[in-house]
A = this chain, B = another copy of it.
Amino acid sequence: MKITEFFEQSIGQWRSQRSGHHLAFAHFEEVLSTIDIEALNVEEPEVLEICKLYDIDPASITHPFRMTWEGESDWDDKPLSGSTVLVPIPDPENPSRGKLLRDKGYAETIPAVSKYHLSDDGIFTLLTEYDHAAAEERIWFANPNLRFRVAMIKTSDGKGVTTASFSSEIRSLSSPTS
């Protein structure tokens, strides 16, 4: 699988079943959510704004997208929802590696630059460093309509892992009427 296929196959609406593992206490969290991944054009204002924020030439980016999620956890009564715009910048010397810019990070609200690479096995790994923590995500397709995602949050020295989570994401083949 090429990285361009990986980005293209990710576009769509996904029904996500996520299990969180809080490792120290062996606690389980269950989350059901809907995730929309929508391709954006390079010219869209939100994309250009991110390029400007990070001082990046819009000609160097590829496959920008918006990710929107809405879900419910068995641990928290509040609905989980949010939206972020993500902009991949491939490494000019090796297109299966690159940086991923976003308008907001998951764990903290400052913009975070992530590094990604696609392994020879088709596993997309995303590394994000925050001020006090680091996140590692691995995403792969079991088939074009089923994605798996494993995420873990590490302490910033990279040694301790506090939580891990696993998502099974099934493509919603029926599009909602709008």
Contact = CB atoms under 8 A, between A and B. Distances in A.
Q: State the number of copies, please.
A: 2
A23 B168 contact: yes
B15 A26 contact: yes
Contact of A161 (B15, B120, B142, B150): B142
A159 B141 CA distance: 12
A21 interface: yes
Interface residues of A, number: 28
Contacts of A26: 15, 17, 32
Interface string A15-28: 10101010100101
A170 to B, nearest CB: 6
Nearest to A31: B28
Most B-side CB within 10 Å, residue of A21, A119, A125, A152: A21
Interface of A: 15, 17, 19, 21, 23, 26, 28, 30, 32, 119-121, 123, 125, 136, 142-143, 146, 148, 150, 152, 154, 159, 161, 164, 166, 168, 170
7 contacts: A19-B21, A142-B164, A143-B159, A143-B161, A148-B150, A148-B152, A150-B166
